[in-house]
A and B are shown apart, each in its own frame.
Chain A
Amino acid sequence: MSAQTTSEPEIVIDVNGLTKSFGGPPVVRNLTMHVHKGLIYGFLGPNGSGKTTTLRMLCGLLTPDSGTGTCLGYDIRTQTADIKRHVGYMTQRFSLYNDLSIRENLEFVARIYNLEHPRRATQEAIDRLGLADRADQLAGALSGGWKQRLALGACILPQPELLLLDEPTAGVDPKARRDFWDEIHQLAHEGMTVLVSTHYMDEAERCHEIAYIAYGEILAQGTVAEVIAGAHLSTYTVTGPNLADLDETLKSLDGVDMVAPFGVELHVSGRDAAKLEAAIAPFREKGPQTWTRGEPTLEDVFIDLMSRIKDNSA
């Protein structure tokens, strides 16, 4: 593994203007994305926004209608065979063999990638993933969390340079999710590049960079701080009684672009700070709620991005 010594890190995923449709309107539209080596890149967006489709185009399972790009320097249209050798793709739905045991599944993968010692490599993977007790259980009999571990194990077994993980932690308990992310950070530390799709906000915060996609279009890209700053949102946090009523009233005000309840708080945001101040001034004076100026969270930003798209298309 080479260490990151150069100041200009190499670009692992470099795609421009990818568009893909399945007969109807495009589900991925003019997508441009650059991912640097060794990064954990989060790919966020609601269901049906085109995350899986994008990942499939990156690993050669779907051919884009238009647009160009490379993955690890290989053309995603013409050099898919090379991409498959170097990219580990973990599908959203478990897609290893339910009627094979953990060991048999891993051995199959090891052999398909022509590892020198498939049995030894399998045993090492089993130990590394902590699957030793279950190694001879059928994959179909495993719980969701263990299936996920197995799938990840199968992906990293051939030591790919790039991992594409499609919602790897969906439906997995918090402890398993945490372990999973520790593992991913460890891999990135060792030089692997990871593109991971998710819709958990806390996971987004664990990524080096993120991209937010909705309706097939990337709406924001960069580090979490950059994405938040780029939205130019002013946000107030409101606590106190009758928040539900307040929510209704505020929504209709000019200058208030988004009102979202977060537990016992209400987040009130606006794109134009001055207009927001003007709109909420009467409520701040009247009370009885307490208003504090806060930083917008990533979720505030995403909800706002979504509503802007809706406004535009409406």
Chain B
Amino acid sequence: MSGASDIDRRTRGFRASFLRVRATFIKEFIQLRRDRVTFATMILIPLMQLILFGTAINANPRHLPTAVLVQDDSSFARSFLAAMRATDYFDISLTASSEAELDHFILSGQALFGVQIPAHFGRDLIRGERPEILVIADATDPTATGGAVAALNGLSQTVFSRELVGPAAALAPKKPPYDLRVHLRYNPAIETRLNIVPGLVGTILTLTMLIFTGLSVTREIERGTMESLLAMPIRPFEIMLGKISPYVVVGGLQMSLILIVARLLFGVPVEGSLALLVALTLLFIVANLSVGYTFSTIATSQLQAMQMSMFFFLPNMLLSGFLFPFRGMPQWAQAVGELLPLTHYLRIVRGIMLKGATFADLQADVLALALFSLAAMTLAVARFRQTLD
């Protein structure tokens, strides 16, 4: 039969395989386009996260509500409060009239700091009796108070320089016999959003890519379309590539959106090569897509696939260095973190955007991402059920 040999010839070879991947790509893309909710989610999730994280999160907050109990009316007390205000960390908005009231301000959360300047503070200071100023900090959230407490310590050097002149000059603190120069590179103003926004590119891509591919195979099974698909001459790796590739495009769009908004809204720069950033982000996208796809070949329902994706997403959030400093984590957590794609991508994206890192600087992380993708894809193809048994 001529038709028989014909189809054998047509369906073999690399070109035929590529055409089947393309056919699947087209099909997935049309389906994606028709699915308005998913499409909207893909645009809205990044925008919402970016704006929320970019504007709301500040690991080095300033203008924190502060209550004072001033029992001394010397110029020392006024100078100290003025110096506190000048650090920008303290917003002295509450005045207590007793220690009990000061405690209440802290307990009720109205103030994060309470400052008590005791009676005769100025007099005792001049007499050299080393009077104490009590600063109470609500340290339940160390991030909120850390920067401010550090700023307080710095105060003591200079706070009374105007008062301690003439005979009292001997009481002024001595300068150390050397100068310490600290360079805060890449983010001199210590703005959290410069660290957070590039990290957000990574978390947003992880979340959306996992969810969308996580559903792709289970959806075919749940809708019953898998039976037809499996009866056709298409191979598992072709299905995988065809299903993953539309989301590489989607991920690319999300990345562009985030970078543009980050630039326009938050002034986050791209110090290094934009082309390198795009190329490595695509690699990262592929890594996550292959994980999501693997889940989708293992899960038996869309719900299960979602749960698996969430299960994978959490350690990515927590152990990658996105929320907490990677180097501050215990050894075991760092070891786990090294296995997660987001960890490597954060180094890449922060490196390129903030530090102007080049490919040579990032080689190890690129290799890790590539190996990760390859392993996940191999697992997915191996796990893909080609029969309905």
Q: Report the bound CA distance from A115 to B22 in whole Å.
A: 13
Cβ B233 vs Cβ A1 within 8 A: no
* Known A-B contacts A95-B228, A100-B31, A113-B232; A63 and B389 likewise in contact (beta carbons under 8 Å): yes
Instruction: Collect the chain B residues with CB atoms within 8 Å of residue A115's CB.
Output: 10
We find that the number of chain B residues with CB closer than 8 angstroms to chain A is 35
B278 CB, min distance to chain A CBs, angstroms = 30
Instruction: Collect the chain B residues with CB atoms within 8 Å of residue A80's CB.
Output: 386
Instruction: Collect the chain B residues with CB atoms within 8 Å of residue A30's CB.
Output: none
* Known A-B contacts A2-B1, A97-B31, A116-B10; A62 and B388 likewise in contact (beta carbons under 8 Å): yes
- B1-37: contact bitstring with A at CB < 8 Å (1 yes, 0 no)? 1011001101100001001101110110011001100
Q: Which of B178-186, B219-227, B269-277, B369-377 contacts A (4 or more CB under 8 A)?
A: B219-227
Size class of the A contact interface (CB-based, 8 Å): 35 or more
Cβ A96 vs Cβ B19 within 8 A: no
Total A-B contacts with CB atoms under 8 angstroms apart = 97
Cβ B387 vs Cβ A86 within 8 A: no
Instruction: Collect the chain B residues with CB atoms within 8 Å of residue A61's CB.
Output: 227, 230-231, 387-388
B234 CB, min distance to chain A CBs, angstroms = 5
Q: Report the bound CA distance from A160 to B232 in whole Å.
A: 11
Q: Report the bound CA distance from A60 to B389 in whole Å.
A: 10
Q: Report the bound CA distance from A292 to B19 in whole Å.
A: 66
Instruction: Collect the chain B residues with CB atoms within 8 Å of residue A278's CB.
Output: none
Q: Which of A104-112, A125-133, A168-176 contacts B (4 or more CB under 8 A)?
A: A104-112
Instruction: Collect the chain A residues with CB atoms within 8 Å of residue B31's CB.
Output: 97, 99-100
Instruction: Collect the chain B residues with CB atoms within 8 Å of residue A94's CB.
Output: 224
Instruction: Collect the chain B residues with CB atoms within 8 Å of residue A207's CB.
Output: none
Q: Report the bound CA distance from A244 to B26 in whole Å.
A: 61
* Known A-B contacts A59-B231, A61-B387, A96-B228; A108 and B7 likewise in contact (beta carbons under 8 Å): no
Q: Report the bound CA distance from A102 to B226 in whole Å.
A: 18
Q: Is A180 an interface residue (CB 8 A)?
A: no
From A2, A63, A93, A108, give the contact of B23 (CB < 8 A): A108
Q: Report the bound CA distance from A158 to B26 in whole Å.
A: 19
B residues 321-339 in Cβ contact with A at 8 Å: none
B contacts, CB < 8 Å to A: 1, 3-4, 7-8, 10-11, 16, 19-20, 22-24, 26-27, 30-31, 34-35, 223-228, 230-235, 386-389
Q: Which 5 A-B pairs have the closest CB atoms?
A: A111-B23, A95-B228, A89-B231, A114-B10, A84-B233
